[in-house]
Structure 1
């Protein structure tokens, strides 16, 4: 290594390094440092730099991997043995059972009851230890990932490293399942678990409630604020969609109620012209609504999913619709210009179902599998004209005491074009993921709310992030900071 020692009067190239973990001296040094008794208390940990190459590092890593593989093999062996004992322990044939007297039958029954109690206790202990091990591995993975981004020589753009949302205000409120903003971000509408809707003025991160609406009988699940008119839509557990408008008295009023779904409304999207409304529901159906004489009517209904439709998303051109469900399928429907209807174009079968997906543009969409620490990116293949998975992005899952509770609904993925950021709720975390010019994605911030019951949205310009969670019981307002 042709670099001088950092001690000025030595004026010679460094030759040695020290690997002792407790060493407090500078680890890269020259022969004169050795002569001055540097590192002499742990000389066995001193090596020549030229001997400390990639092979030694790899051998050390390989040893760790081999140790890990041995532990995994041992765990699998013990698991299999334990499972067989649980399945066949205390089993007795009918012939043996008939040969027992009453005292022996009583003893057998007592043993079985004791065995069942001990089995339950042991399984709970194993489950607790397994959860601790999984949490330790998640923590380690996150630390390794952070070290990858922080290590010298890693080319991470400075603007990506400094992007984040900072908490600026917190307001106690009842549970809000859905947030929407008008186009300029001056109005926010909250859809509540209690079925009410509240309209707020929103200015410089400050909220002021101006009107309460009661157009639904049950919880609000989703909303959509139109960009071309002063109207917004709300979908409810009561199976209806309400369209609200700003009347001549500058009050929000009910314009039309859409009915037709046989289950709660989970998602609402519109095309850019806002002449097509698409809704998905617990009834496993997707409905397309078009305007006739200023009133919305259902023009087509499609199935395909065998469970509730958790999320839908429309591409930029408005001719491709993706949907996901608990049936472990992503369906992609295309609009047929000749037949003037939506037709299934592709079915993607996935190992783990998810609640959230969204188009980034016409050829890319993101999908979040349930309880996974990776978000999947799909690209449209130019040759086959089919979407294929091309990337897995590491995202935060977060931590919660109620570890077995499933993820919550009503927080759709959102892509903000101006910031090129995906908002992705996953488990207890809200993740902000940046897309670069090469269509690569990296998580720039993970906010751990320590609860899965989180609901929220960004303003359309990406300047503010609004959430409600059941741990704080409050609306939290975060501002984009560069």
Structure 2
């Protein structure tokens, strides 16, 4: 507390020349809460003297409220993350049950075909009933948020703009987190730093994207999509965030959706190899091998040493029983990253298949 002994705050009453000495903590008080000696002499807060405190308590209060506010924000974010996770599970479930390409349908056995066809006939009924239910739930939620925003009375505040100092601090923390994320592969610690960065500037797109991609690298794909979406609200053309969302959707088995978002990234940067790889691998997983090969060739034409594209081409060839050709690309990939266990295993599978012929 002693660190604030020399703090000088001018009295809110412009007619008073003295600095603030006492603060009022009475919740119902309508008068200025910051008081100088002259205010005290005028007896403005005489009815609730028990709620008057020394100026030093103001800074303790500000620190406590800052922590409580951040705890509330963290809890609210957790609730939204859970809601987003359930939402994407719902989307994935609907897609898994009702959306299949002709090739996917033909890959089913006859019982599965019959079940899928029978359920697809009921789709319209499912859509009509559940869309209305979800639409009303979302509207109720939006109405609640509108009311809460109104209760906050943000339009009456004149201190709610992000200062240049906060922006600079946010950027400083982002750079610290980026080193942990990019140089050290320490994603959990990086996320903690990105969260600190976002306290100072919630619209720091770099911190939002890097948090999203750190979550993706930790295998938390639904959460990664939530934060990629937050980054895209700040900058809808951020290529890295678009790619992160596409890659996460692919890992969740939502291949058609992944292709859509990879294409969005490629509209921004047609030479973005990671997005080309994600699109190609999603096409492969849909057993659309010809299209997959065409896309991965684009990536390797841009960067012949793009690691993910090399093993992805190998896997596409392997899935088509072209084991000799697949080996070529697995070997190229392993020259870049000799310790990539997944690629080594696929290479061994190809060698075993060749030897069995």
Shared topology, TM-score over 0.5?
no
Q: Which has the higher contact order (CA 8 A, sep 6+)?
A: 1
* Structure in which a larger fraction of residues adopt helix: 2
* Structure in which a larger fraction of residues adopt strand: 1
Q: TM-score, normalised by structure 1?
A: 0.23
